[in-house]
Every structure is written in C-alpha cells, then in structure tokens.
C-alpha cells in the first residue's frame, strides 16, 4: 500500500510537459531500435556479439535524454515502462518474447539508481555517461545471460562494448539537453 502512495505522489509532481517528454522519448527509443540494430549487426556479427550491444548506446540515449529533461527521479523508469507497454501493445516483442518487458524496464531502473546514488539528474556529462553505461550494460547482461546464454569471455566483450556505447550515448544525451535548455526554457 505504501508503494502505491509513492507512485501517486510521484505522478502528482509530473507536469503535462513532463508526460509529453516521457511519451516522446519512449516512442523515439522504440522507433529507432529496429533501425539501428541491423546496422550494428554488420559490426558485431563477425565477433559473435549481439547487435544491441553497440546499438544500445543510440537507443538508450533517448532514455537518458528524457530523464535528464524531466529532471525527476523515477522519470527514466517511467519512460522504460511506457516503452515496454508500447512494445507489448504493438506486438513487436522481437526475438526476446515476453522477456522484452524486463529488457526495457531494467535500463530505466538502472538510470534512476545511478542518479539516486550520485544525487545527479542528468546535469553533467559525467552523470549522463554513468547513466548510459548503467542502462546499456544492464540490458546487455540480462540479454546475454538469459536469452543468448553467452559464455564468460563473449559476455565480458559484450559488456565492455555496451559500456562504451552506452556511455557515449549518455554524453550525447547531455549535449542535446544543454542545447534544448539554451533554445527552450522548460
């Protein structure tokens, strides 16, 4: 019962513009994933590394950007939940089936956890870099262990590539956020 009260309190603090950003970033993340992953497969296929490892930096960027623009703890998780709902509603669960729900929600939780522990909310390149790493690495570990059942060395290779890709996506998200802040006042 206490958790429902916390959810209601969080949602009361979310404005209509926050909800619009959350919906837009969730949909951009879902829409760009099928476009970017096949291109990443060209690079990762010969290495026997899942394509989402490299592509994740790009589509996790939307998660970090949306959470940074909203600036409230829990925004990344909410974006991830909206992504999971959109994927289920459209029937684009891909090769992961119902595990996709977890692979969408876990990165949002990871971003919020990084920002909870650091006290940051997408304010600097460092916290966005860390959030991007956490988002992409958490999804990579989940998919690598549960779906692909990767052995240790390929899993570590995947995790290393995912960390670099996710971190760079987080830095790009921070730069885009700064540009938005200069152009538009929220």
Residue with tokens 């409230």: 72
Q: Mean pLDDT over residues 126-154, rounded?
A: 92
Residue 130 lies in a domain: yes
In a domain? residue 171: yes
Q: What is the pLDDT of residue 20?
A: 96
Q: Answer yes or no: is 4 within a domain.
A: no
- For the chain, the domain total comes to 1
Question: Can you say how many angstroms the Cα of residue 86 is from the centroid of all Cα atoms in its chain?
Answer: 15
Note the pLDDT tens digit of each residue in 82-98: 999 999 888 876 667 77
11 — pLDDT class (breaks 50, 70, 90): confident
Establish if 123 belongs to a structural domain. Answer: yes
Q: Would 8 be classed as within a structural domain?
A: no
Question: What range does the domain containing 95 cover?
Answer: 41-181
pLDDT at 94: 67
Instruction: Outline where DSSP puts E strands in the chain.
Output: none
Global pTM value: 0.90
| pLDDT score of 1 more than 70 | no
Q: Which DSSP category does 145 fall into?
A: I
What is the overall mean pLDDT for the chain?
Answer: 90
Neighbours of 110 (CB within 10 A): 27
CA 91, CA 60: separation in Å to the nearest integer?
20
Domain for residue 156, yes or no? yes
Asked if the model's pLDDT at residue 186 lies above 60, the reply is no
Task: Indicate whether 30 belongs to any domain.
Answer: no
Query: Which pLDDT belongs to residue 185?
Result: 66
User: What Rg do the C-alpha atoms of the chain give, in angstroms?
Assistant: 16
Look at residue 31 and tell me if it is in a domain.
no
The predicted pLDDT at position 8 comes to 79
């Amino acid at each position: 019962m206490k958790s429902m009260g916390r959810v209601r309190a969080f949602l009361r603090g979310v404005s209509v513009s926050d909800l619009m950003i959350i919906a837009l970033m969730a949909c951009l993340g879902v829409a760009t994933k099928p476009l970017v992953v096949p291109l990443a497969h060209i690079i990762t296929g010969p290495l026997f590394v899942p394509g989402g490892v490299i592509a994740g930096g790009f589509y996790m960027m939307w998660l970090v950007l949306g959470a940074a623009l909203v600036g409230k703890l829990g925004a990344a998780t909410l974006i991830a939940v909206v992504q999971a709902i959109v994927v289920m509603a459209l029937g684009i669960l891909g090769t992961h089936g119902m595990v996709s729900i977890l692979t969408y929600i876990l990165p949002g939780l990871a971003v919020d956890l990084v920002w909870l522990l650091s006290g940051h909310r997408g304010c600097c390149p460092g916290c966005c870099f860390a959030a991007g790493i956490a988002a992409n690495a958490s999804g990579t570990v989940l998919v690598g262990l549960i779906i692909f059942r990767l052995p240790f060395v390929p899993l570590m290779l995947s995790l290393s590539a995912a960390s670099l890709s996710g971190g760079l996506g987080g830095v790009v998200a921070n730069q885009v956020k700064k540009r938005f802040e200069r152009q538009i006042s929220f």
